[in-house]
Each structure stands twice: as structure tokens, then as C-alpha cells.
Amino acid sequence: MDTVRLRKLLSHQQNILSKIALGTPLNDILNDICLSIEEIIDDESTKCSILSLKGKQLFHCAAPNIDYKYCQLINGVNIGPNVGSCGTAAYRKSRIIVENIETSPLWKDFKKIALDFGFKSCWSTPIISTQSTVLGTFAIYHSSPKVPSTRELELIDYFVHFSSIALEKDIDSCKVKQLIVDLQQSNEKFKAFTKVMPDLALILSEDGEYTDIYGSPDELLYNSLNALINKNVSDVLPKKEAQSIMAVIKKTLATNDIQVFEYQLEVQKGKVTFEGRTAPIDHYQPSNPSQRHVVWMARDITTRKNAEKEVERLAFFDPLTNLPNRRMLNERLAMCVERIKRSHKAGALLFLDLDNFKRINDSLGHSAGDELLVELSKRLSRVIRSSDTLARVGGDEFIVLLEYVGEDNEQANIEAKIVAQKLLSVFQEKFEVEGLAFQVSCSIGICLVDNRHSVTNNILKFADTAMYRSKMKGGNGYSFYDPELQTLLEKQAELETDIVRAIACDEFCAYFQPQISAQGAVIGAEALIRWNHPNKGLIAPNEFISIAEQYGLIQKLQNIVLRDICILIEQLSAGNIMDEFFSVSINISQCQFNSSTLKTELLNTMNNFNIQPSQIKLEITESMLSADIDNTIQQIEELKEIGFIFSIDDFGTGYSCLTHLSAFPVNELKIDKSFIDKVLDGGKGGSIVQTIISLAKSLNISVVAEGVEASEQFDILKTMHIDSIQGYFIAKPMIQSDYVKWHKNNVARCGLIHLAILK
């Protein structure tokens, strides 16, 4: 080595070691190492990178002169016996010299990427720790085929040694930092514990014995402190309360996790609402290390709960009648609309306005009018169901929200009339106000809440318009907003007849949209029904599914889809282009899932084919899980015992599934497209998707992203550890023959890059 290069080497050595000693950020040190060797090696095309090994994957730590896009494409590659130079070097724990990337078998799966960025050779050396573990790899690229000289290998080893020192020191530093953080956290926990000493802190053994008691005065205890220590909860508390406490202790120790809950207990102070928090403690008593304990923190939240109730009452209830106010009505109406959108059932909103109420206020004053309104609210409450909402939204304006009045508009129309007549009947008896009797009447406007009327403000406006129509007819009556209701019903009946004809003429078929794993492998497909109408062309399911459900035709359509699925699986199996894990998804509607014949219908169709239930994935919506939970779980378990797989479709759009998700024996959930559309917004969209993925992972449930339409979405979803995706980015839904061609062309492909090239 000439004197100039030797001086450079010594200078770089001094600089790098100095930065390592001073604790310079790891990336800066590794960038300096890369730049140093690039400067010292003779070839000006030399480009260096350093990758760290995390688990079984390699990630770039430094590559100052290598295109960022190349680094992103390589990041996260799993090491293996034939994974380029770096992946193989890390796997074999030995240096890998690839003179010509274009001809090397090690670069078979990554050759095009490297060549696209002008890399023709790559020498990779594993970075080994002092404990003989692989920390990462040190790679040198050239723009032409090349093998290293003995001097270059010595230089590489020289800088690999520096890299090892830097990486190992960083690991040690991280461990020290983490230890400090852990100690700080422990200290903070202790500080927090002392801060809550005014609350009640109990140490209970796994058998329910009061071991220690800290904190609050005796008035929050069931008995005095001295009377509780070393006593068992079963000997101190009433049987019911003792059983509840033991159940919490057992759950805390079984899950080894913090439990948060509320409970009430009659203590020396009186009936108190507590917020309880429990956590497991091991080795609490050195003399008995095998016995486990829990710390039970109890905070008196009685005042807060009472205040919350009062705040809620003031915020959501009319102070005069104590009925829900406009704010609560709007919230309930919004939830009602969302449920109806999913269930395709019908509700109704009735707008009531008293006729000539002004004359009472003008003649007797507002206090008299208020007295009449209070009496009216009581009468109206007596004639509606407990599930309906009666709200006062103005001076003499009342609204009745019927969340469910029928499976279809015709039935809803009839039921809404019956309710309107009941409401009018309360006005038959006179109202007595300040010793005077008044005959009062009202006008009612009715707007059905269905898929046509699904905007809350419009529903209220339409009902108000219908109410004025009643007033124009003289009052003391009701009117519907929609005068074309009969026309709509006739159109639905015509569509039902057309569906029956189309089934007989075999106009329905399944389209298939593929699903790929995060690594790019084809793992399944979703079957989607389409109607190939002879006059109207291809009709999407949202135009006929609700009618098919309403008229009991959905099972026939389901059998058609299942038949096409079985034919597809047989075809893929015969072509030996489908592995044992490949499955096809089929949507199951609410009425089908609730049917006692679902299992029979599924098996009857499949028995005509050599298809296993494990090849069929049953997709159910989140809202279907929130009704009768016990029966739902039983239905799922029965079908899973046969071999069917279950997936929750459109996850995130429901209201109650999150609460009970862990109870349902499902294999997969699909994140709704509405969330995927927002995954790149850098805000709540991505956070929601990450939360859903993390939740599912914690429950050992795989996650599919629906509606993926761009590579950027796929890239960020992979960083969130998504399991698989589905959407236009991969392919649109296809007829069976086109899907088979697509499948043949893509099933052997692994990786989004290859998939993108094909497209």
C-alpha cells in the first residue's frame, strides 16, 4: 500500500475509532466507514453498504452512495443459502464473492434489481460479534464484473472489524439505555404507587388472603384494617362479593396482565363505586416464593360517576321533560342509519308538532304550556316501545325514532301507520292545566329510514316537510314524506321476478379477485357474484342482493357462487397450480348465517365435487357478530369442526365486535377499504390500520387489506406487517377462465416487484 493510502487509512482509523469512543450516532459512524473504504479502494465505481441483521432479515444501516430506492427494495430480505451476496454471507457466516451478478445463481431472484441500478459485482463479508453471532454484512459493489485483490480483502476485513466494533458497541449501548429506562420506569411506578396512597391498595394472595393493606382510611374498607390482615376474603365478605373478588384474582394470575374494572361494595362509608386495577406479583414474600399475589388498587369514584351521570343528563336530555334532546336524537339516528345500511332493514322517524299550541302559552303563560308538555311526554312514553326513542327537540316539537319497523318498506309503511295512530290516540283525552281542560291535537310527519334516506339531516327535513303537509290537511293526522312508495314497491317486485328468471336462465356467476401474501405469493381469492343481464349488461351485487335477501332468494345465489368456487378449485388442483393452503372466500349474508340449514346447504353443493371444507373461507360481516354472541360462537364452532375457515369482512365499520373479538373463533379479518384508502394520509388512517393489525396479531388472527390500489399502500402495509392484500393493485375481479390464466401466470411469482412487472 502506498504512503498516501496508508496515511488515509490511518486517518480514517483514528477518525472512526474516535467517533465510536465518543458515542457518535451509529449511522454516522457506519456512513464514515463506507465512505472511507470507497476512498481508499482504487476503483472509483466502488460503492459500499452496511446492513444489520434483525431476526432473519437484513436492513441497510449505511449506504451513502447507493440509490435509496435500491436500499428500500432490498430492505427486509430474509437471509438464506441463495439470497444474493449479503443474504447468503449472513446465512453461511462466510465471505461471498460474486464476480458477475448477471451469471451468479445466488442472485437469481435479485439480478434484475441489481442490474437496473448498475451493479455488476458484489463482495459481501459477514460482520461477526465477539460472541460469534452475525451482526450484519459489509458489501462492496462495482459497476463491472470484478474479483477482489488480496490487498482489497485485507482492507475489507479492516473495515469490517470497525463495523463490528461499532455495531456491538451500539448494541451494548442500547442495552444500557434500556436498563436505565427500565430502572426509571420502575422508579416512576413506585412514585405513582406512592401518589395513589390516598386510595386503597391491597395485596392479596392467590388464595384470597389479605396480606398487606396500604393507603386510604378505614372508611373505604369493609372492616377495620386489623380485622382484615391475614384473613381470607371468603371469611370476611358476603359470598357473592367474595366470589367476584376471587374471580378477578384468578383472571389476573391466569392472564398475567393488568385488569381494569368497576365494582360496587357496601363499606363502612356506605355504598361506594370503585375503580379497580389489579396486577400480578411474583415472589412477594421471600419466605414463600412459590405463592403468587396480586396488587389490588381501589379508587373511590362514586362522586365522579354521579357527576358523569349528571353531565350526561344535562348534555343529552331535555331539562323540562327529561326526554332525550336533539343532540342525543341525532346520535341515535346516525347509529340507526348505519345499522340499516348494513342490515337493509327499515326504520322510521315521526315528527310531531302540536296544533295551535301557541294559544295556550299566550293565554295562560309558558309555565302552563310547560305543564302540558310534561304531561304529554308521559303519555307518549307509554305508547312506544322501550327500544324506540322519544325526544323533545323544540318548544312543542317531539320526535319518535323507530329503529326497526320492518324487513322491507311495505311492512315499515304499515307499522309506521300503526305507531302514528297510537300517538294520535293520546290526544283523545283532554289535558288539564291550572284547573282548565284543553283539547289538544298534533300533526305528524313520517319519513322511513332506509337505504334511500340515509342522511340524518335529510331524514329530519323530510319528516318536518311531511308534518307541515299534515297541518295543511287540517292537523290531527299523519302524512308520509314519500308519495312514490307504491311505485318503489312495484319496482322491487319487478326486480324480484327478474331475479327468479335470471336464476333459471343461469345469468348469475362468480367473479374471482386474487389475494396475495405480503411476500407476493398467491394464497387465495374472493368469489364475488355478478349478474350478466341480457339487456342491462353486467350488474353489480349492490343492486340486487338486498332484494334477493328480502324475497328469500339469497341462498340460491349463494349456491351458484359456491358451485363456481368448487369448479375453480377442481380446475386449479387438476393443473397442479394450487397448494394445500390456497382457499377461496365466499360472503355469507346475515339471513344465511342465522339459518339452521346453512351447514346442509354448503355440504350439499360441495358433495358434488371433490372439495375439502378447509379450501372454503366463509366471510361474515362484523355486525353479524354483535347480535346473539353465544349462538354466533356456536354456529362458527360447528362449521369450523367440519373444516371451514372464518373471516370477518369489512372490519372496523361495526360497533360491538372489538369488544368481543377475542371470543370469536375466527381465523382472519379483512380491514375495510375505507381505512386502506387513508393509510397514506400520515394521520389517523394509518394509525387505525396499525391498531387493527396489532390487535389481530395479539389474538393470532391473520389480517387481509381490502381495496389496495397502489404500490405505496402495499409498501406501508408491509411495514405494518400485513399478512396479505386484495385489490385493484393486484387484479380486478375476473371471470373464471381469466382468473385461471392469471393464476397460472402468477402463482409461481414471489414478490411485488415481479407482480408489478407482469402488470
pLDDT tens-digit series, residues 525-554: 999 999 999 998 998 898 898 888 878 889
- Tell me the CA distances in angstroms from 555 to 611, 638, 716, one per residue in order: 20, 19, 39
Per the domain annotation, does 60 fall within a domain? yes
**Among candidate residues 114, 143, 175, the one where a domain is terminated:** 175
Residues 466, 443 share a domain: yes
CB distance 332 to 324 below 8 Å: yes
Instruction: Say whether 189 sits in a helix, a strand or coil.
Output: helix
Q: Which helix (H) or strand (E) holds 13?
A: helix 3-22
Query: What percent of the chain is predicted at pLDDT more than 70?
Result: 91
pLDDT average, residue stretch 590-614 = 86
Per the domain annotation, does 750 fall within a domain? yes
Grid cell at residue 138: 459489509
Say which CATH number the domain at 694 has. Answer: 3.20.20.450
Residue environment code for 233-259, b if the CB has 16+ CB neighbours within 10 A, otherwise e: bbebbeeebbebbbebbeebbeeeeeb
Residues 73, 30 share a domain: yes
pLDDT average, residue stretch 232-242 = 85
**Among candidate residues 307, 330, 365, the one where a domain is terminated:** 307
pLDDT average, residue stretch 575-590 = 90
Is pTM, for the whole model, over 0.85?
A: no
Report pLDDT digits (tens) over 256-300. Answer: 999 998 888 878 778 888 888 999 998 888 788 888 999 988 888
Residues 255, 326 share a domain: no
Q: Say whether pLDDT at 683 is over 80.
A: no
How high does pLDDT run on average in the chain? 86
Per the domain annotation, does 72 fall within a domain? yes
Per the domain annotation, does 130 fall within a domain? yes
Distance of CA 461 to the CA centre of its chain: 34
Residues 326, 439 share a domain: yes
> Looking at residue 233, what is its pLDDT?
85
Q: Say whether pLDDT at 190 is over 80.
A: no
Confidence of residue 57 (pLDDT cuts 50, 70, 90): very high
Report pLDDT digits (tens) over 699-721. Answer: 899 999 999 999 999 999 999 99
CA distance 638 to 519: 33
> Looking at residue 490, what is its pLDDT?
53
Residues 235, 144 share a domain: no
361 vs 55, more confident: 55
CA angle 605, 608, 612 (to 5 degrees): 80
Look up residue 729 and give its amino acid. Answer: F
> Looking at residue 755, what is its pLDDT?
42
Residues 325, 301 share a domain: no
Q: Say whether pLDDT at 753 is over 50.
A: no
Report pLDDT digits (tens) over 338-370. Answer: 888 888 888 999 999 999 888 787 777 888 889
CB distance 752 to 521 below 8 Å: no
Residues 355, 233 share a domain: no
CB distance 334 to 456 below 8 Å: yes
Total domains in the chain come to 4
CB distance 346 to 451 below 8 Å: no
Residues 612, 464 share a domain: no
Per the domain annotation, does 663 fall within a domain? yes
748 vs 640, more confident: 640
Phi-psi region of 748 (alpha: psi -120 to 50; beta: other; left: phi over 0): alpha
CA distance 687 to 590: 30
Supply the range of the domain harboring residue 652: 513-528+555-758
Residues 286, 360 share a domain: no
Confidence of residue 626 (pLDDT cuts 50, 70, 90): low
Q: Say whether pLDDT at 758 is over 50.
A: no
Say which CATH number the domain at 425 has. Answer: 3.30.70.270
Say which CATH number the domain at 99 has. Answer: 3.30.450.40
Helix, strand, coil percentages for the chain (3-state, nearest 5): 50, 25, 30
Residues 445, 379 share a domain: yes
Length of the chain as a residue count: 759
Instruction: Say whether 442 sits in a helix, a strand or coil.
Output: strand
Per the domain annotation, does 107 fall within a domain? yes
pLDDT average, residue stretch 673-679 = 90
**Among candidate residues 307, 332, 351, the one where a domain is terminated:** 307
Residue entry with cell 396475495? 516
Residues 444, 387 share a domain: yes
Confidence of residue 118 (pLDDT cuts 50, 70, 90): very high
> Looking at residue 192, what is its pLDDT?
65
Say which CATH number the domain at 295 has. Answer: 3.30.450.20
pLDDT average, residue stretch 650-672 = 75
Confidence of residue 737 (pLDDT cuts 50, 70, 90): very high
HSE-CB at 333 with a 13 A cutoff on CA atoms is 27
CA distance 759 to 742: 10
Per the domain annotation, does 170 fall within a domain? yes
Per the domain annotation, does 137 fall within a domain? yes
pLDDT average, residue stretch 321-331 = 91
Residues 298, 332 share a domain: no
CB distance 518 to 724 below 8 Å: yes
DSSP code of 256?
Answer: T
